[in-house]
Amino acid sequence: MIYGSTEVSYRKASKLINKIRYQEGAIPVRTLRHNTEAEGAEVIDFRERIERLTVLSGHS
């Protein structure tokens, strides 16, 4: 999932995942998408916290 999230567009990654991952009993694509979006939100939150700390400490 990391490769798809970082190396190609979401649409291309979705096509690739749908081709490779279709298996009986596999994790649904919606679950993978939700987890990836949640991890992305955590990264954005972390970066925003670091930026705020940088601004508050007077460093650029």
Cα separation, 40 vs 60, in Å, equals 24
Residue type, 15: K
14-57: per-residue pLDDT in tens?
Answer: 777 766 655 677 777 788 888 889 999 999 999 999 999 998 88
pLDDT digits (tens, 9 = 90+) for 9-21: 777 777 777 666 5
Q: How does residue 7 score in pLDDT terms, banded at 50, 70 and 90? A: low
How much is the pLDDT for 8? 66
Closest CA to 43 of 22, 13, 35, 8: 35
The two structure tokens encoding residue 39: 């991890």
Q: Determine the 3-state secondary structure of 1 from DSSP.
A: coil
